[in-house]
């Protein structure tokens, strides 16, 4: 399953990550950046280390799980 991870820095200079499932692909980097700016400006989320203050990064994470049948 793919996830879009948005990484921010908070007031304590710690990384805060928010994950969104099933991102639209191909990813529009400008739209992601604009959404992150809006999250910061609207103070939409907070963390234990304070408000989000800047963007750090964004990435798509693809996690594949394969079950192993045990005898």
Backbone angles phi, psi at 15, to 5 degrees: -80, 130
Three-point CA angle 62, 64, 69, nearest 5°: 175
pLDDT digit string, tens, across residues 4-30 = 999 999 999 999 999 999 999 999 999
Q: What is the pLDDT of residues 32-66, one digit of tens each?
A: 999 999 999 999 998 999 999 999 999 999 989 89
CA geometry: angle 2, 59, 7, nearest 5 deg? 115
Model's pTM, two decimal places?
Answer: 0.86
Phi then psi dihedrals of residue 69, to 5 deg: -75, 120
Yes or no: say if 18 and 6 are a contact pair by the CB < 8 Å rule.
yes
Displacement of CA 39 from its chain's centroid (Å):
11
């Amino acid at each position: 399953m793919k996830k879009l991870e948005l990484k921010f820095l908070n007031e304590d200079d710690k990384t805060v990550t928010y994950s969104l499932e099933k991102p639209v692909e191909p990813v529009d980097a400008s739209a992601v950046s604009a959404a992150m700016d809006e999250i910061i400006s609207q103070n939409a989320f907070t963390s234990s280390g304070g408000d989000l203050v800047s963007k750090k990064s964004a990435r798509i994470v693809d996690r594949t799980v394969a079950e192993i049948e045990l005898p």
